[in-house]
Chain A
Amino acid sequence: MFRQGKTYILILFFLTIWSGNICSQTTSSPYSIFGVGYLESNSMGPSKGMGGTGIAFLSDIAINPMNPASYSGIDSLVSIFEVGIFGKYTSFATKTDNQSVVNANLKYVVMGFRINPWLATSFGFLPYSSVGYTINAKTPIEGTALSYIETFSGSGGVNQVYLGGSVKIFKNLSVGINAAYLFGNITRSESSDDFGYYLKDITYISNFDVNYGLNYRFNINKWRYNLGFIYGRARDLRTESETTIQTGTGTETVSGQTYGYSIPQNAGAGFSLRKGFFRLGIDYEWSNWQDVEFTNVYFKTRNSNRISVGFELPSMGVRKGTNKMIFFRFGGEYRQSYLLINNYPVDCRLLTFGAGLPLKGSLSTINVSLEVGQVGTTSNGLIRESFVSLHLDMSLRDLWFMKKRFN
C-alpha cells in the first residue's frame, strides 16, 4: 500500500505541475487590473467548504496554512500531502453587457508532518495573487475625431513558497510561524494592431513575508473550544520592471515605470467549537490597506474586513464513526474589497457547500467544495462577477516517513 500510495502521489504531482505549465492563467477578471491582482485566499481543503473559515481550526485532517499554529494538530503518525485544483465559471455583467469565462488550474501543493512531540512543520506552494485580463478599449486619437482599438492585457501573479513551524508551548497552547518567499511577475501590455505597437511592462516581484499564529484550546463539558489569532506585518514588495516597446522600427527596452506593490498589515481572530464529528468555526480578519499606496488614479483603498462562518456534519447511519464516513460542510463569507473604484466598493459574498469523501482503504480524503458567489455590482459603472467554483482538494495522508524509519 505504501508503495502504491507513493506512486500515485508522484503521478498526481507531475500531472498537476504539468497542468500548471500549460496554462498559468488562474484568474480572468477586469478587476485584476488593480494592484497585484486578484488576491487568493490561504484557505484550503475542508475550510474551502466552510466559507473559507479556518483561523481557529487545527491541521488535524488537512493542512491549514491560514494559521501556522494549526500545524501542531497534525497527528504524530501521519504525513499529509495536499494538492488542490479548481475550476471556475464566471459571468460578468455590466448594465449593458454580459460575458462569461471558464478557468481551471492547479491551486496549491502543500505538505505537513510532525517532527517530534512538540514541533510540527508544513511547507508548500500557494498562490498569493493573480492577474488575468484583456480589455479592448476604444481610445481617441488626440488631435482628430478618430478613435482606435487599444488592447490592454495583464497576466501573471505572485506565488508563495512557505516553510512553517508550530510549537506546542503548553498542552493547550501552540504558536506558529510561516516564513514565505513571495515571487512572481506581472506582465501588463498595451497594444494596437492598427498602429503596430506593443508596449510591455514586466514587473518582477519578490520578498520575504512572515506570518504569526496562535491557537488556544480548552474543553467545557464535552465541547472542545479553539481560539485562533493570526498576524502579519505590512511589507513592501521588491519590484523590478522591464519595459519594452515594439513598433515597426524594432524593439526597444526602456527604463520602466516602476509599480510599487505592498502587502498590508493583517490580523485575524477565529473561534471554533467541536463535539464529536460536528465542527463550527467563525473567522474575522482585518487588513490595513489604507496605508498602502497605489499609483492608479481610478481607485482608492480602504481597510478591508472579512467575516466567515462554516460548519461540518458527519453523515449519519452505519458509516458514522467509521473511516467510510462522509463529512458535509456549509459556509458563508463576506469579504469587503480593499478597492474603492470610482469611490464604490466591489465586495465579495459567497456561499459554500462541501463534502469530505474518504478514499477507500486509506486515510486519505478528497474534499470537494462548491463556491457560489458574487463580486461587485452593476451600478455605478462597475462590473458584477457571478461565479461558481469547484475546488478539488486531495488530502493524502500516509505513513511515508514512519515506514522509512522502521525499515
Chain B
Amino acid sequence: MKGISEGKEKKQILSFAGICLIIPIIFVTLSVSIVSCSKSYEFTMGNDFIDSQTRLQVIDTFRVDLKTILLDSITTSSTNHLLIGDYKDTIFGSVKCESYFDLAFQDFSELDLKAEYDSAAIVMVYSGYSYGDTTSQMSVSIHMLNENIEPYNSGYLYNNTVFDYSPEVTGSISFYPSINSIDTSVAIPVNSLGEDLFNRIMEKDESISSSDLFYEYLKGFKVTATSSGNKAVIGFKADKDNLFLRLYYHINSEVLEKKTLTVTMGPESHQFNNISYDFRDTPLEGIEAGGNEISSFRSGNKGYMQGLTSLLSKIQFPTLQDVLAVRRWKILRAELVITPARGSYDDFPLPKILHIYDTDKENRVNSVLKDSQGNPLTATFEFDGSYGENTRYTYEITNFINNELADAYFDYDHGLLIGLEQERFRSSLDRLLIEGRNPPVKLRLYFLTY
C-alpha cells in the first residue's frame, strides 16, 4: 500500500514538471506571434504578380463651357476702402470709381474766444492699392451731397448706388500719387467749408448742436477724379483714423498757438464706392448687368473676371452626364484647371487668391465652395516665370462633382463662378482674363474603374 501511494505522488510531481516545460514554450511562441503580428508585412517585391482590379486614369476630355456674366450689383459699403479714379483699356473697357462718405457728429466743445480760423482740408491716407498707371498726375474734387447717405434695408450700399450732389466743387487738388509710401496722405483744401463750420462752432450755431441738425447741415461728400486721363484708380483707407476733415486755427495770446480740430469719417456703413463701367468696343460689348451671359466664343475665347465691376467667369460641364454611362467607376479627384490668357497679366498682377461660387440658371452667386476643413475653397496658383505656359490656377472640386453626380443626374445649369474672395471682390478691381481655347479650361478627373 505504502509503495503504491508513493508511486502515485511521484507521478503527479512528474506530470507537474511536464506543465512547467510546456507553459514556457507556449508563452515564448505566443510572444513571438504577438511581435510578428504587430509588424505589417509590406513587401517591396512581388509587383509583377499583381493582377489589378482597378484602373486609375486622368480624363480631361469632358467639355467645359466658359462664359462671362455681369452681376446686377454688389455691396461696396463698409469695406474700409475709398477708391477714386478711372481707367480704360480695350480688354475690360472703362471703369470709374467715385466714393461717398459722411462725417461723424461730435460734441463741438467751446473753442477759445480768441481762436482764429486758418484753413481746412479733407485728409485721405493711401491704402497702397492702385489699378492702372500710377505715374500720371491725378486731379480729385470733392462735392457736397444734397441728400443724406442712407443704407438700404439690407444695411448696405451698392456699386451702382448714387446720391444727389451739388455741382459746385467744394475742394480740389492735383497730385502725383505716391501709393508706395504708406501712411502718406492727400489733403484736399476745403477752406470755405472749413470756415463756415468754424464760424458755426464759434457762434454755437443750432445746426451743430445735435446729430440730426448736423446731418441736415453736412449731408456728406462725394470724391471723384476730374481729369486723370483714364489712367488709374487709387485706393485710400476709409476709417475714422485715416479719413477726416481737419480745421486749422490759432489762438492769439502772448505766443501764437496753432491748433487743429478733427471731424472724423461717419459710420462705415455710409462709406461706399460707386462704380460705373462701359464695355463698349470690347469683346464684352452688349453684356447686361444681371442679364445675359456672354459665351467665350463670342468674347475672343476668353472669360472675364473682375472685382468691383462684378464680372464673373461662369463654368459649366455640358458633357459630364456621359460619365454615368460607364459601369463601376469612382471619381477620386476632380480638378478644375484655369489658365490666365497669356499677355493679360503683364501690367496687372494676377489675383493671388481665387474662390469659386455655386451658381444656377439665374446666375446668382449662391454660396462659396468649401474645402474639407469648411474654409472657402482656394485655387492653387502656379506661376511659370520663364514662358508662362504652366501658369495656372487649380481648384480641387471633387466634392462638387461627386455631389452633383450622386443622384445619377448632372444638372448643366448648376454651374460654378470664378471670382475673387468676397472682401477683395467688393473692394478692388483685381482682374483675370481666362484663356478659353488654347488651352481651354479643363476638368481633370482622376477616374477609377474597377
Contacts and interface: CB of A to CB of B under 8 A. Distances in A.
A11 B21 CA distance: 13
Given A141-B58, A195-B448, A15 B26 contact: yes
Contact of A190 (B26, B36, B39, B54): B54
A11 B27 CA distance: 12
A316 interface: no
A19 interface: yes
Interface stretch (A45-53, A57-65, A102-110): A102-110
Contacts of B328: 254
A33 interface: yes
B34 interface: yes
Given A104-B29, A104-B36, A247-B330, A297 B19 contact: no
A92 B333 contact: no
B55 A142 contact: yes
B332 A197 contact: yes
Contact of A132 (B11, B16, B41, B333): B41
B44 A97 contact: yes
B48 A23 contact: no
A135 B53 contact: no
A166 B351 CA distance: 86
Contact of A4 (B15, B51, B333, B406): B15
A394 to B, nearest CB: 7
Interface string B19-54: 101110110011011111101111111111111111
Contacts of A321: none
B37 A22 contact: yes
A343 interface: no
A25 interface: yes
A364 B17 CA distance: 13
A249 B43 contact: no
Chain A residues touching B, range: 35 or more
Nearest to A101: B41
A219 interface: no
A134 interface: yes
A104 B40 contact: no
A12 B22 contact: yes
B18 interface: yes
Chain A binding surface SS class: mixed
A174 to B, nearest CB: 32
B26 A361 contact: no
Contacts of A7: 19
Interface string B329-348: 01011000000000000000
B360 interface: no
A362 B18 contact: yes
B340 to A, nearest CB: 22
B332 A248 contact: yes
Given A201-B53, A383-B45, 5 more contacts: A8-B19, A8-B22, A30-B46, A141-B57, A143-B59
Interface of A: 1, 4-5, 7-8, 11-12, 15-16, 18-19, 22-23, 25, 28, 30-31, 33-34, 85, 87, 92, 94, 97, 99, 101-105, 132-139, 141-144, 148, 150, 152, 190, 192, 195-197, 199, 201, 245, 247-249, 254, 257, 295-299, 341-342, 359-362, 364, 366, 381, 383, 392, 394
28 contacts: A12-B22, A15-B26, A16-B26, A22-B30, A22-B33, A23-B34, A30-B49, A33-B46, A92-B45, A94-B45, A99-B44, A99-B45, A104-B29, A105-B33, A132-B41, A134-B41, A135-B46, A137-B47, A139-B56, A152-B52, A192-B56, A245-B330, A247-B448, A360-B17, A362-B18, A381-B48, A383-B46, A394-B22
In the A-B complex, list the 10 residue pairs whose CB atoms are closest, starting with the nearest: A30-B46, A361-B14, A142-B57, A23-B37, A104-B33, A143-B58, A28-B41, A195-B332, A104-B32, A137-B47
